[in-house]
Structure 1
Amino acid sequence: MRVAADRDACISAGNCVMAAEAVFDQDDDGVVVVLVDEVPADEQAHAREAVRLCPAGALREIS
């Protein structure tokens, strides 16, 4: 599983980091950063939750 982030759409809420800190971070401006190319199996549920929780819809799952 992979995830993608639309950094232009990000509103810096930080929900992604709270849900999946091993997959997402925020830069100095609070904009989402994807930390991994492939989401490890043990983090996939957290990554999916982060995608679901993003208030700006800036995250998406890539199969």
Structure 2
Amino acid sequence: MTETPNYTAAFEELKSIVSEMESGAISIDELSDKLKRATELIKICNAKLTATEGDVKTILKELEQ
């Protein structure tokens, strides 16, 4: 099993996939796999952003006290 990438790596890979799709560099044979991978990467990025938002809210709440 592959290791889950950090936010930066996931975002960079996602940008690469989007760029390939926009340029038409992805063949029909690859499209399904690329879309599945993009979905996984979006979930990773979303989870990290949500966790970071929670951390920031917690820190700000602590500072108010």
Asked if Structure 1 and Structure 2 have the same fold, meaning a TM-score greater than 0.5 normalized by the shorter chain, the answer is no
Task: Point out the structure with max Rg over C-alpha.
Answer: 2
* Structure ranking higher in helix proportion: 2
The two structures have a TM-score, normalised by structure 2, of 0.34
Structure that is richer in strand per residue:
1
Q: Structure 1 length normalisation: TM-score? A: 0.35
